[in-house]
Amino acid sequence: MRPPANPVRTRPGRLVSKHVPLSLLALIAIAPLASADDLFTETTEVPEVLTATRLKQAPAAVPGSMTVLDRGLIEASGARDIPELMRLVPGMMVGYLKGNQSTVNYHGANVTEARRLQVLIDGRSVYRPGLATVDWSDLPIAIEDIERIEVFRGPNTVSYGANALMGVINISTRSPVDSHGTRLRYSQGQNGIRDWYASQNLRLNKGDLRLSLSGQEDDGFDHDQYGRDYRDSRRTTRINLSAVHELDASQTLEWQFGAKEGSKQRPYNYESMFIPGIANGDSDSDIAAKDYFASLRWTLELDPRHSLQLQTYAERWEREEAWSACEASIAFSPQLARLYALSPAYVDDLGYALTHGQPLPPGTSEQEALGLQIVQLLGSGQGTTPVCGDIDFNTRESRFDTELQDTLSLTDDLRLLSGIGYRHDSVDSETYFGGRQSNDILRAFTHLEWNIGKHWILQGGAMYENDRLSGDSLTPRLALNYLITPRHGLRAVYSEAVRSPDMQENNVDWRIRLDNLTPTVNGSRSAYFFATARGPANLQQEIARSREVGYNGAFSEWGLTLDIKAFNDEIHRMISEPLSVGDFRPANDNWIAFRGAEAQVDWRFSGSDRLRLSYAYVDFEASSRLDQRLTARNSGSAGWMHDWGHGWSSALFYYGADSLNLYRFERLDLRIAKRFALDHGTSLLLAGVLQQRLDDEPLTWKENLNDERRLLYFSAGLEF
């Protein structure tokens, strides 16, 4: 699978090299060389990250690639939601199914099924258990509550279990200890943008508590490719309560509670397969969403070398999606249901033939016999009666997770992290599962870090999981880091990861029932639609193997950090098929391979200026065309943040990708802000954000269109 040496033409007039382009070398070359004093001088003030191994480590010692989005960068970006922040992460592909349905993939793969990233909020997974996806537009967290986001770019099943196949996004919220006082914020702008936020901190006996309320609203895209209004607005309201208690000098107790409710518009575009022109019933199938969570974390410092952490949380996702639909009575006939069970493809051919006046399509004798019966029913008028009823696509998913983690320094040079956990997932849906489906997962994990002398670090870890629906798995990782100094390190990493097929892929029992039928069907007020689907129940776990070499360095004299990596990742036994009742054929038949390089630079070149650059070159091959659509060979971002003094600041960001689902994406964002210091410690922040598309193409899909390429919104914030 070696790529050819010659370039390929991806779009008219646009050549993309099949090798790592010179622009990557140019990006690296802009970083000024550090002085010898900086490069070879020990320092104790080395920043630390946590997400890679669950151990606090210097970035140069991490067994993989990390991107950290700090609070200053998050605010300067002007982003309203987390997917937009992911554009700052090299190799992260951000797309949109509709204005209220964003997708985030690392390096790409299927444009509609973003299922291979683990997403954590304060250690709590928001990866939905039944339909196995991350509902990015419905995350129960406000941007204003986020302290930092650590992104581990690469497989990390070793630390976080199955579903961390391609990477981990770990979102950490502000501690109540660090968010004293009152904060208010309101934003409004084009496209129906109306966001608000309010928080209040309370000092408790040996602790702190923060209550935050927030809401978000916008109108999505303006129209589709035919100029029709696009029904994809969204509205969300959230409440979060977070507290930290210092029980004594060695014990800390943290707890959180949150709830979210909102709605997302969805167009209902179903058309009768056999009788064109039948009324559709409702014009929409909107979703009403409600989420709840509660978490508790207890930390015990036994001594400076030994600590324990116990975390337990429970979550619930409710999605109410019900509407009225109409079809011809033939859609509820046993003959059509039997024919569909034999061959969905033949039903498609039959429907096309009937609506286009063509003869009965060829098939097996049983298929043709059933097809003839359906034609006769329609010809006699028995199957042409319009029937309307209520459809229920409601789902309720829940998760309970508890985990005990032990961190022990065996010697000055040897650290061991180990833990065990249990998770119970369940989903309840009459349409998708005919009731309730559940799963239980046991896990045990360990990570060993061995400092061999002054410069070498050998790290190894493994995760064992017992998944009741998918079986056992054991995933390892081995890494060798060479530290020139604590701030400069080279790394070589090999890791394996798995993704368990979700309940919808493997265990679905998809039957669409219409209730309150008018008129009745065979004397009944309820009937099942002919199209059904059942999961194979024998899907295997997807397997990823990753090889990476890289460098991470922090040049303290210049205020510059740099991370570079070259990678070779492969995923086998991929499940790439779309999960649609009309074409439900999931199988472990596909594979994908990614090769390339990434770089990121963060340069604070003066007390008032910060430059941040990211770039990814991804060369890929995939067995399924569906996995070839959301990978840009060249993508990246560039940002310049400047403090002008007297409360004025600005930030200018460029985002670009040469092909997302065959469409180019380029955008320039400008944020200008002014902070006013008022009396008694009160401050007022006024900001405006302008987003300007530099291309004239749809966003990911051809129907995602806006009337203007420009988006403008303003915000006002008060702190006291």
Instruction: Pick the more confident residue, 626 or 641.
Output: 641
376 in a structural domain? no
Q: What is the pLDDT of residues 53-68, one digit of tens each?
A: 999 999 999 999 999 9
Report the pLDDT averaged over residues 182-195: 96
What is the tally of structural domains in the chain? 1
Instruction: Pick the more confident residue, 221 or 45.
Output: 221
First to last CA, the chain: 60
Are 634 and 658 in contact by the 8 Å Cβ rule? The answer is: yes
Alpha-carbon span 708 to 698, nearest angstrom: 11
Query: What pLDDT shows up at residue 179?
Result: 81
623 in a structural domain? yes
Query: What pLDDT shows up at residue 59?
Result: 94
Q: Is the pLDDT of residue 123 over 50?
A: yes
Report the pLDDT averaged over residues 86-93: 96
Q: Is the pLDDT of residue 392 over 80?
A: yes
Q: Is the pLDDT of residue 102 over 90?
A: no
Query: What pLDDT shows up at residue 4?
Result: 37
Query: What pLDDT shows up at residue 22?
Result: 40
Query: What pLDDT shows up at residue 280?
Result: 63
| DSSP 8-class letter at 433 | H
423 in a structural domain? yes
Least trusted range by pLDDT, from 398-412, 474-488, 579-593: 579-593
For the chain, percent of residues with pLDDT exceeding 90: 67
For the chain, percent of residues with pLDDT exceeding 70: 92
Q: Is the pLDDT of residue 24 over 60?
A: no
Least trusted range by pLDDT, from 16-30, 114-128, 132-146, 661-675: 16-30
Report the pLDDT averaged over residues 649-665: 93
Q: What is the pLDDT of residues 482-499, one digit of tens each?
A: 999 999 999 999 999 999
342 in a structural domain? no
Joined tokens for residue 41:
């001088």
643 in a structural domain? yes
529 in a structural domain? no
- The contacts of residue 490 (CB under 8 Å, 6+ apart) are 481, 482, 484, 549, 550, 551
- The contacts of residue 576 (CB under 8 Å, 6+ apart) are 109, 110, 113, 589, 590, 623, 624, 626, 627
Query: What pLDDT shows up at residue 428?
Result: 95
Q: Is the pLDDT of residue 15 over 60?
A: no
Find the domain containing 614 and state its range.
16-265+287-320+394-501+539-719
Q: Is the pLDDT of residue 627 over 90?
A: no
Joined tokens for residue 285:
């199938």
CA atoms within 13 A on the CB side of 169: 23
Query: What pLDDT shows up at residue 13?
Result: 33
Most confident of 439-443, 502-506, 576-580, 629-633: 439-443
pLDDT bucket at 228, cuts 50 / 70 / 90: confident
Alpha-carbon span 134 to 337, nearest angstrom: 33
CA atoms within 13 A on the CB side of 249: 3
Q: Is the pLDDT of residue 146 over 90?
A: yes
Cα 286 to chain centroid distance, Å, stands at: 22
Instruction: Pick the more confident residue, 427 or 113.
Output: 427
Q: What is the pLDDT of residues 278-325, one digit of tens each?
A: 766 666 788 999 999 999 999 999 999 999 999 999 999 999 998 888
200 in a structural domain? yes
Query: What pLDDT shows up at residue 223?
Result: 82
Alpha-carbon span 573 to 430, nearest angstrom: 29
Query: What pLDDT shows up at residue 112?
Result: 67
Joined tokens for residue 280:
């559709």
Are 213 and 185 in contact by the 8 Å Cβ rule? The answer is: no
Alpha-carbon span 625 to 110, nearest angstrom: 9
Q: Which residue reads 């382009």 in tokens? A: 21
Q: Is the pLDDT of residue 667 over 70?
A: yes
What one-character-per-residue DSSP string does 641-701 give?
EEEEETTEEEEEEEEEEEEETTEEEEEEEEEEEEEEE-GGG-EEEEEEEEEEESS-S-SSS
Q: Is the pLDDT of residue 39 over 50?
A: no
Query: What pLDDT shows up at residue 232?
Result: 86
Ranges of H-type helices in 317-449: 334-342, 344-355, 365-379, 430-433
CATH number at residue 432: 2.40.170.20
Q: Taking all residues of the chain, what is their mean pLDDT, rounded to a whole number?
A: 89
